[in-house]
Each structure stands twice: as structure tokens, then as C-alpha cells.
Homo-oligomer: A and B are copies of this chain.
């Protein structure tokens, strides 16, 4: 069992929930997926590998992985599908997304992070998470 699996198992246990084979399969695949994904992508990948996990179970499991901070909901795209992003063991980062080709740059700017904290302090607000997404055109797409 790797760190993610241990973390999730402990989390489930602390809530009187079970580390079922289905949850293990889903978690393992999520950890293998390095990047952004949605329910259907995950379902098809599992299917191709011969795992039979129902969509309902995936829909039930992903929110619990979010609560356990193993994944998070990612920036919504134009189509109205919930996208997820693996975060456990990854550093926080923000996104720059090309409107035209969909290319995504991930970045983190410590000064921006710091300024956000200062801003929150000013409102006596306790930040838990934040999301910064910049949309526009990548180098390729801006000419053309």
C-alpha cells in the first residue's frame, strides 16, 4: 500500500467506512492518472483494464476523495462536466488555460500566494483554499 492508499484507508476507517475493492481500484487509477480527468474518462479506463466498477460508485467515491484531499475539483471547462485533479503529494498550483487549443500551464507564484494571505488577513478571513485561473491565448494560438 502506498501513501495515498494508506491515507484513504485511514480516512475511511475514521468515518466507519470500508476500504472496498471498488474504492481501491478507483483510488489506484486516480493515483496513476497524473492529471485532470472526469468521471467518464475514469470509467472507460477502468473498463479497458477489465475492472467492473459502476458509474454510480465512481460518482460516490470521487467526492470522498475530494474530502480526503487526494483530488480536488478542477477548473470547469466550457462543457458542464466536473473535472478532477490529483493533488495528494503535489504542490498547490494555479492554471493558465488557452481558450483556443486547451493547453494548460500550471504555475505557482509565491508573491501572489502571500498577497492573498495578506488580503484575507485584512478581512479577518480564514482562507481554506483558492483557485486562480487565467484564460487567454497561448503563444501558438495568439498568432493565427
Residues of A in contact with B (beta carbons under 8 Å apart): 76, 80, 96, 98-99, 105, 107, 109, 111-112, 115-116, 119-120, 123-139, 142
Contacts and interface: CB of A to CB of B under 8 A. Distances in A.
B126 A142 contact: yes
A91 to B, nearest CB: 16
A125 B112 contact: no
Copies of this chain in the oligomer: 2
Given A133-B130, A135-B129, A96 B123 contact: yes
B99 A120 contact: no
Nearest to A99: B128
A105 B136 CA distance: 25
Contacts of A135: 127-131
